[in-house]
Structure 1
Amino acid sequence: MAAASSAVEARSIEMIPPGERHGHPKSQFTLWFGANAQITAIVDGALAVVFGADAFWAIIGLLVGNVLGGIVMALHSAQGPRLGLPQMISSRAQFGVYGAVIPLVLVILMYVGFASTGTVLSGQAINLILGVNVPAVGILVFGAATALLAILGYKYIHALGRIATVLGLAGFLYLTFAVLTRYDIGQIMFLKGFEWPTFLTAIALGAGWQLTFGPYVADYSRYLPQDTSERRTFWYTFAGSVGGAQWAMTIGALAGGLSAAHLGGDFLKNQVGYMGDLAGGGLVAVFIYLVIVSGKLTVNCLNAYGAFMCSVTIGTAVNRRDTVSRTARIAFILLVIAASVLIALFASKDFLNLFKNFVLMLLMVFTPWSVINLVDYYKISRDRLDIPALYNPDGRYGRWNAAALVSYGIGVVVQIPFLAQALYTGPVTHWLGGADISWIVGIVVTMAVYYPWAKATNRAPLETIYPDEDAAPARVPAS
């Protein structure tokens, strides 16, 4: 059993044994609400308005996207208690021990990208709290806080999520009250008619936001007892993630609309300061900045922790180990945070446009991965894994799995003609009036290719094979 006396989490990519399982699925609500009720989600919501949607239809589109993406995200979370494994380790069952490295590289880039944007915004909030005008100060302070909590690990990240949820609820309630009572929201609603291209962009922004949690959401439910209901894990995760994100994005859409109407300041130039101004300035603004920092600290810890897990998963595919030392763990986390801090220090001023394209690009590359992982878990293997084989390239799952890798490649490539991004707009997108439906095409095609192929080449054992007898549950009831 891992040393319980140490403050630093001892476990990494191995299966969490029953004797170390603890907690209740309610913890998933507070963690994911705290991780979503934050400034970057506000920016994500504002993007839908900044880039063309009417505020009302932006809010509806974001809700549709959050619900659709949240379903997928929560289905990943429900795998954690049953398997006790990090999400990307379990994906070796679909892609092969070496093949899983391909999406892992993209996942790490995602973590660093989100951590960098979060560091930029939180650095601004810290500077406003401290009253300094040197961007590097806030960025470095925030980077140090992220490093400390990510190194401490699972238990402390969940504790931070609870704190961020309480602060987020208070801060968002006040912001909502301030916006609704100080401004005439009717002035920014229904200024434009319904437009499919901008509505679909809003859906994509909401769905893309949720889907980016997929590669690591099970990492934070894997310590729950093995007999934890999948349904309860799903619903607590879904409610926290979708509730927190939609609330933040709704505030963002309203802020974007108010800014476009020249009410309350200029959101495009100063996202963090604008939220303080909406709150009324003074000490209330300082409180809003603390809310921003706590929410971003939660999700940045998730990003740093997840990047560590993915980096180790890549390394152990070669050395066949199923554990890593605390020293290696700390080194990986510090490396990821250092990269995000450096990027934040040299971040482009074109923040909003770059962030929009970053989220939509992530949607393109992670949608096929989610389809493959969920189809295999719920329809092919039905949660039956050979866990020792996940760490052995010569085992049941092999080095490469053609069914998953080819399906993934097709799922990504088939989206290209449907893209609507700054770097490239596909020919089909022009015919659709600028609407980006690439991710929907990716879901349909990936499922159509992968499901029959995986069913015909099913590698799942008849029953789950555990690392040792102590790891096997006596009975796992149906959810």
Structure 2
Amino acid sequence: MSTDMRAQTQRLGVETTGIEIIDEADRTARPQDLFWPWFAANVSVFGISYAGFVLGFGISFWQAVLVTVVGVVVSFLLCGVIAIAGKRGSAPTMVLSRAAFGVTGQKVPGVVSWLTSIGWETFLAITATLATATIFRQLGWGGGTGTKIVACVVTATLIVLASVAGYHIIMRLQSWLTWITGIATVVYIALTAKDVNWAAVSAIPAGSTQAVVGALVLVMTGFGLGWINIAADWSRYQRRDASGSSIVAWNTFGGALAPVLLVVYGLLLAGSNDKLSKGIQSDPVGTLATILPTWFLVPFLVTAILALVSGAVLGIYSSGLTLLSLGVRIPRPRAALVDGVILTVGTIYVVFFADSFINPFQSFLITLGVPLASWAGIMIADIVARRRDYDEEALFDPRGVYGAWDWASIGILAATSVIGWGLVINLFADDASWNNWQGYLLGPLGLGGKGGAWAYANLGVLVALVLSFGLALVLRRGTVRRQEAGA
């Protein structure tokens, strides 16, 4: 980008910084600033929908509350640890992971991260489109193909424009969205509180240990672990003297506060209404609107879409940075635009042409969740082991202290992913038969095989996370010390 074009773009408020190191003069953010993007991206009525998924494991209300609190808080706490790396290195998350995987080796988890981000943000755009159609039908305004086309175009345009604009505009946008979606969510709770039937909720029988573990993994992957590969993207503008513990605390507080409250309330609603709980499976947000008075449907639709857009914007912005970290040499706004176009095409295909999308789509994302959890364990171990800031120049030089490939990390990623895939099963065997190869360790390890009680617990995600962390902490401690001494 030419100097004149860069200056003109910056005057418009568009961030031109890509994956390069943030200048010291631009590092003005404080730890408490992290509250806004994380809270805004998660204060969505979509969080209420997760209650239907959690109760779907056949567990009681109190078991579900425990799972929700532990799963949400711990998963966002892990995001907070990753966010420390942003302050230490002033670069996006997947660039910082070059210290653990090597400058070239980082492309292996980078591809997984990029696919996961694109997948989740496409899912949010699809959800917004379907919710619009459902609410329009309820209002008697149609809800057919024309409505879906308009909803798809509006949703995709909002996501693309905000993600192209970049960090500074997104941060301002998120602070406004926090208030708008927060107020609307409070009104939603006030209007639907009458639908809570405590007798029905308290009568839900308790589930097995395996079911509780499965629900826990669902909550962790649906919330904090779903963001963990981009957690440092929003802390790279932090002041150099910012407290690491404060970054963790504000990241965790901002990310976890709304989901905990929303999912717990959703448990009360879904536990009171079996029809509502089942409807959430196919149309998460639109189903929640079916118990609202007509006058609030339009405000609910607008705020629901804004909340989904808020989450998608963070993901597309970061997926664009990940694309750059893989070696694609284009300006950051254009990278975000490329990912936005992919999101739009994916949404159009799923909404208008695919016979069944949700189950194959979720199967694909669960498969990616195992290596992503493994990457997270390795990255967290690397952050815990370090005592100094990153050698920022070496993050871009294969001949620097981080080298081109860190074969210990690549080996750990491969081994723990193979183990993890062996401990999860394809929950959508009929719709995604191409993914039925998983779960091959459930039988040999005495866990009941693919039809046993542990099959639906998705142990592989937790095992990949914990095992990769432990192995990396032991096997790479010496490597980290040599890197810091060399730097």
1:10 deviates by: 1.2
Q: What is the TM-score normalised by the length of structure 1?
A: 0.87
Residue number in structure 2 paired with 1:438: 460
AA aligned to 1:238 is: T
TM-score by length of 2: 0.85
Q: 1:382 and 2:395 equivalent?
A: no
Residue deviations 1:93-128 (CA, integer Å, cap 9, x gap): 111111111111111111121112111111134443
Q: How does 1:259-408 map to 2 (within 5 A)?
A: 259-260=273-274, 262=275, 266-278=279-291, 280-315=292-327, 324-325=330-331, 328-329=334-335, 331-346=337-352, 353-354=359-360, 357=363, 360-379=366-385, 381-408=386-413
Give the 3-state SS of the residue equivalent to 1:192 in structure 2: coil
Pairing 1:232–2:229 present: no
Give the whole-Å Cα distance in 2 for the aligned partners of 1:281 and 1:270.
19
SS of 1:393's equivalent? coil
Distance in 2, Cα, partners of 1:143 & 1:447: 37
The residue number in structure 2 matching 1:415 is: 420
Give the AA of the match of 2:448.
H
- Larger deviation, residues 334-343 vs 81-90: 334-343
Q: Deviations over 1:116-164 (max 9, x none)?
A: 2111111134443694422222112100111111110111211222122
1:54 and 1:192 in contact (8 A); partners too: yes
Change (3 A) 1:95 1:69: same
TM-superposed deviation, 1:225 = 1.5
Give the Cα–Cα distance (whole angstroms) in 2 for the partners of residues 116 and 337 of structure 1: 5
Rate the CA distance shift 1:70–1:303 in 2: closer, same or farther, 3 A. same
Distance 1:6 1:238, change over 3 A: same
1:211 lines up with 2:225 in the alignment: yes
1:39 to 1:108, Cα distance in 2 relative to 1, 3 A? farther
Q: Distance in 2 between matches of 1:153 and 1:169?
A: 23
Is the contact made by 1:117 and 1:344 (CA closer than 8 Å) also made in structure 2?
no
Instruction: Please point out which of 121, 136, 141 is paired with 2:154.
Output: 141
Shift of 1:45: 3.2
Residue identity opposite 2:305 in structure 1: V
Give me the whole-angstrom Cα distance separating, in 1, the residues matched to 2:297 and 2:259: 21
What CA distance in whole angstroms lies between the structure 1 residues aligned with 2:19 and 2:191? 45
| Matched residues, number | 455
CA distance in 1, matches of 2:119, 2:176: 25
Rounded Cα–Cα distance in structure 1 between residues aligned with 2:107 and 2:51: 32
Partner of 2:89: 83
More helix by share: 2
Distance 1:132 1:417, change over 3 A: same
Alignment of 1:163 with 2:176, yes or no, is yes
CA RMSD in angstroms, aligned pairs only: 2.7
Q: Which amino acid aligns with 1:433?
A: A
> Is 1:125–1:138's contact at 8 Å kept on the other side of the alignment?
no
1:461 aligns with 2:484: yes
Asked if structure 2 preserves the Cα contact closer than 8 Å seen for 1:54 and 1:193, the reply is yes
Partner Cα distance (2:168, 2:13) in 1:
9
Tell me how far 1:88 sits from its aligned partner.
0.4
Whichever residue aligns with residue 290 of structure 2, its letter is D
Question: Which one-letter code corresponds to 1:148 in the other structure?
Answer: L
Contact 1:38 1:296 in 2 (8 A): yes
Question: Within 1, Cα distance between the matches of 2:234 and 2:267?
Answer: 29
Query: Of residues 22, 44, 48 in structure 1, which corresponds to 2:50?
Result: 44
Return 5+ residue gaps in structure 1 as ranges: 466-479
- Aligned amino acid, residue 106 of structure 2: A
Deviation of the 1:418 alpha carbon = 2.0
**Distance of aligned partners of 1:42 and 1:421 in 2 relative to their CA distance in 1, 3 Å threshold:** farther
- Structure 1 window deviating more from structure 2 (183-192 vs 16-25): it is 183-192
* 2-structure distance, mates of 1:191, 1:326: 50
* Partner residue, 1:256: 270
